[in-house]
A and B are shown apart, each in its own frame.
Chain A
Amino acid sequence: DTGVSQNPRHKITKRGQNVTFRCDPISEHNRLYWYRQTLGQGPEFLTYFQNEAQLEKSRLLSDRFSAERPKGSFSTLEIQRTEQGDSAMYLCASSTGGLRAEAFFGQGTRLTVV
């Protein structure tokens, strides 16, 4: 399977715990995006990487959130001291460069904070 892969698919954690999600983009895609989606809403942009450089972060990405893409391949999204409001689907997408290079999405990681 050469699609975008996200792990885990589901995560239940207690409030205050740290969680980390992983995204493996389509190989040779140099752009990688993280989005958050809550029930009944469209995805909201969190952050964007071009290769290993994190080029933009949304204001939605509080200090408790950090994302990395150390070798320009896979990426991790960590949430520290989780809160109930962090419960959402976290989506990763990747694309090649160019204005018409649309992103392919992974299946997402569903986070539930109890």
Chain B
Amino acid sequence: GQQLNQSPQSMFIQEGEDVSMNCTSSSIFNTWLWYKQDPGEGPVLLIALYKAGELTSNGRLTAQFGITRKDSFLNISASIPSDVGIYFCAGRHSNYQLIWGAGTKLIIKP
């Protein structure tokens, strides 16, 4: 099925570093969502974006809905060990169905 282009695929970072990841699509979305999934668990919603250009924060997380409506990015500032996991972007057209990226795996170097 259709998937979004999410990058990077994985990231090795030091605790305290800032993290940036993004998603692009060939089609326009009305909604962009960012989820985090821990091993053996379901995805948990972090941030929802509903308007082009919208910039939204949730604690140390900040996400933006691209002006073209074909991309979005997620930033995590001052990473901590519990940030480890897989981050997914998901886009929605006009109905309820979500199209997902393949995920960005965040690993913190010891």
Contacts and interface: CB of A to CB of B under 8 A. Distances in A.
Say if A and B assemble together.
Answer: yes
Contact of A106 (B33, B42, B88, B101): B42
A38 to B, nearest CB: 10
A111 to B, nearest CB: 13
B43 A48 contact: no
Contacts of A44: 1, 100
B48 A100 contact: yes
A20 interface: no
Interface string A86-111: 00000101010001101111111010
A107 B42 contact: yes
B97 A105 contact: no
Given A58-B1, A100-B50, A45 B98 contact: yes
Interface residues of A, number: 26
A55 B102 CA distance: 26
A69 interface: no
B40 interface: yes
Contacts of A45: 1, 97-98
Contact of B103 (A40, A48, A91, A93): A40
A40 B37 CA distance: 12
Interface of A: 4, 31, 33, 40-45, 48, 56, 58, 60, 91, 93, 95, 99-100, 102-108, 110
13 contacts: A33-B96, A40-B102, A42-B6, A44-B1, A93-B42, A99-B31, A100-B48, A100-B50, A107-B40, A107-B42, A108-B40, A108-B41, A110-B40
Closest 8 CB pairs of A and B: A42-B100, A105-B42, A105-B43, A42-B88, A107-B42, A108-B42, A44-B1, A106-B42
Given A31-B96, A100-B48, A103-B98, 11 more contacts: A4-B42, A33-B96, A40-B103, A42-B102, A43-B88, A45-B1, A45-B97, A45-B98, A105-B44, A107-B42, A110-B40
